[in-house]
Chain A
Amino acid sequence: DTGVSQNPRHKITKRGQNVTFRCDPISEHNRLYWYRQTLGQGPEFLTYFQNEAQLEKSRLLSDRFSAERPKGSFSTLEIQRTEQGDSAMYLCASGQGAFYEQYFGPGTRLTVT
């Protein structure tokens, strides 16, 4: 069991650039989540997939954010025209079936300069 993996672990970008993050869930987990965590705060929910279907999106997910999960396996989170306020840790989690627990990856830390 290799756990949830995320790439890259760190990303520094200039304001206005586009960035894309990847998440590989635990094998056979059908649920996948994205959260955002800013310094000193708990994670905030962004979006949720069951298999390839995106079932819920937070108000935090502005039109500059888009997430996909083609074929129900890995997922990508893209941020277009990054702003300094997008600087945060982006966490991915996965879960299986009817169980509510979620298993988190190490996160991608984004710094927008």
Chain B
Amino acid sequence: AQSVTQLDSQVPVFEEAPVELRCNYSSSVSVYLFWYVQYPNQGLQLLLKYLSGSTLVKGINGFEAEFNKSQTSFHLRKPSVHISDTAEYFCAGSLIQGAQKLVFGQGTRLTINP
């Protein structure tokens, strides 16, 4: 079955520390991958996307992600986090070539401690 898996349900880090949120996908065809952020009681905001080309993609708020086809991963990183980064982060993919729907992971709750 095609799926997106986020390996950590919760990630606590201290402010100004680096963070990595892990995401793996399962697909036998080309994929388009996304990271979204969701603040409490709000919708999802697009952080970054991988469609093709360079495997290192940069997004908003200082986040970046690296597409690794051999490891079927798309991990999200930030070198130094702020309190304001506290939120739920979702990895998503359009896993079937030509399909329009997004398949989401279960989410990772990032908590930044002062």
Contact = CB atoms under 8 A, between A and B. Distances in A.
Interface in B1-53: 4, 32, 34, 36, 41-46, 49, 51
Contacts of B46: 101-103
Contact of A40 (B32, B44, B92, B107): B107
Contacts of B105: 42
Interface residues of B, number: 24
Contacts of A62: none
Interface string B69-110: 000000000000000000000101010000111111111000
Contacts of B4: 42
In terms of DSSP, what is the predominant structure of the interface of chain A? strand
- 10 cross-chain pairs, A with B, having the tightest CB-CB distances, nearest first: A42-B104, A104-B43, A45-B101, A104-B44, A106-B43, A100-B32, A48-B100, A43-B104, A107-B43, A100-B94
Given A41-B106, A45-B103, A48-B101, 10 more contacts: A4-B43, A31-B100, A42-B4, A42-B90, A42-B92, A43-B102, A48-B100, A91-B44, A102-B46, A107-B42
A91 B45 CA distance: 12
Contacts of B103: 45
B44 A56 contact: no
A109 to B, nearest CB: 8
Contacts of B41: 109
15 contacts: A6-B43, A33-B100, A35-B102, A42-B4, A43-B44, A43-B104, A44-B104, A45-B102, A50-B100, A56-B100, A100-B49, A100-B51, A107-B42, A107-B43, A109-B41
In the complex, which range does the number of interface residues on chain A fall in? Answer: 20 to 34
B101 A43 contact: no
Interface string A85-112: 0000001010100001111111101000
Given A48-B100, A56-B100, A100-B94, A42 B43 contact: no
Nearest to A45: B101
A16 to B, nearest CB: 27
